[in-house]
Copies of this chain bind each other. A is one copy, B any other.
Amino acid sequence: MADIEKTSPSSKQEERLALLLWFRLSRFYNQSLRRSNAHLKEWGLTVTQFDVLVQIGAHEPLTQNELAEKLFVTKGNVTQVLGKMEQLGWIRREQEWRKKVLTLTSSGREIFREVVPHQEQFQASQFQGLCKEEQKQLLELLRKLQHHNEDMEGKR
């Protein structure tokens, strides 16, 4: 990983640090994602589907647009994912006003109740390399990054 330094010997140290941070972050993220998918396979669902179940389960009823915002993905993506999940009988989409209202079916709720605790436990195991204090530190650093970038977004 440290070989990134070979990339561009002329660049400033801070810039190299940022590139290194990005590589590490994406490595950890992708590793975790892959593992979570493998873990959730036991219940026949994917991380994306899990995320959708969590959001609808915690906030129903909500619209597709709201869901897209919470998941931080495009509405086009939500359309696709929900199509599949509706077909599987986990969620309902009901036209109401100019929006579509999302709710869990009983089968969706059952999966939600069963899987969430397992996934929470699994996710905890992924972060066990850090003690509780460090986990809070990480959370705080991520929060700062978020805020800063949202501000930048606003200024454009």
**Chain B proximity of A143: nearest CB distance (Å):** 7
Known: A22-B123, A117-B11, A123-B22. A141 touches B134 (CB 8 A): yes
**A129 contacts which chain B residues (CB < 8 A)?**
144-149
Contact B15 A120 (CB under 8 A): yes
Known: A7-B58, A25-B29. A141 touches B145 (CB 8 A): no
Is A96 an interface residue, CB under 8 A from the partner?
Answer: no
A residues contacting B by CB (< 8 A) are 3-4, 6-8, 10-11, 14-22, 24-33, 35, 54, 57-59, 72-73, 116-117, 119-121, 123-130, 132, 134-139, 141-149, 152
**Chain B residue, CB-CB nearest to A119:** B19
Contact B17 A132 (CB under 8 A): yes
Known: A15-B121, A27-B72, A124-B14. A3 touches B141 (CB 8 A): no
**Chain B proximity of A156: nearest CB distance (Å):** 11
Contact of A21 among B6, B73, B138, B144 (CB under 8 A): B138
Contact A117 B8 (CB under 8 A): yes
Contact B7 A116 (CB under 8 A): yes
Bound state CA distance, A137 and B129, in angstroms?
15
